Amino acid sequence: MDKSFVTTAAIGAAAGALIGAGAAVIVATQRGEQIRLTVLDAVESLRASGPTINERGHALVEKSQEVTSVVKETLGAVKELKEETVSAAKDVKSDVQDSVRTSGVGGKPTDGSAGSI
């Protein structure tokens, strides 16, 4: 996650709060002055919690970068293990084929030699 995501999330949260406050104003049965005070309280509360939201957003970004780093490292190790496994399997296959070629199936060589008796 980058800084723009955190900024976008904070803006989205603020916009949601304002839209919610606006909807409350429209459907409320309170008097105008009471509604204004309620909206102002909501805006002030949002302003007060903004730095906390921002700090948590930055902490989330840092954690996600750490997780991404660990995942990349693990993926690299898995790829390396896969390559080693494929190489070992090819070596075993080659050894088996060589063994079959030199000893033959059923004790008879398949490479045209007399074999060992």
Task: Please give the biggest Cα pair distance in the chain.
Answer: 110
pLDDT in tens, the chain (117 residues): 566 777 777 778 877 887 887 777 677 666 777 878 888 888 888 888 888 888 888 888 889 999 999 999 999 999 999 999 999 999 999 999 888 888 765 555 555 555 554
Measured in Å, how far apart are the chain's first and last C-alpha atoms?
71
Stated pTM of the model: 0.44
Instruction: Give the side-chain half-sphere CA count within 13 A for 17.
Output: 18
- Would you tell me how many other CB atoms lie within 10 Å of the CB of residue 1? 15
Q: What is the pLDDT of residue 86?
A: 94
95 vs 70: CA distance, rounded Å: 37
Side chain identity, residue 107? G
Q: What is the pLDDT of residue 48?
A: 85
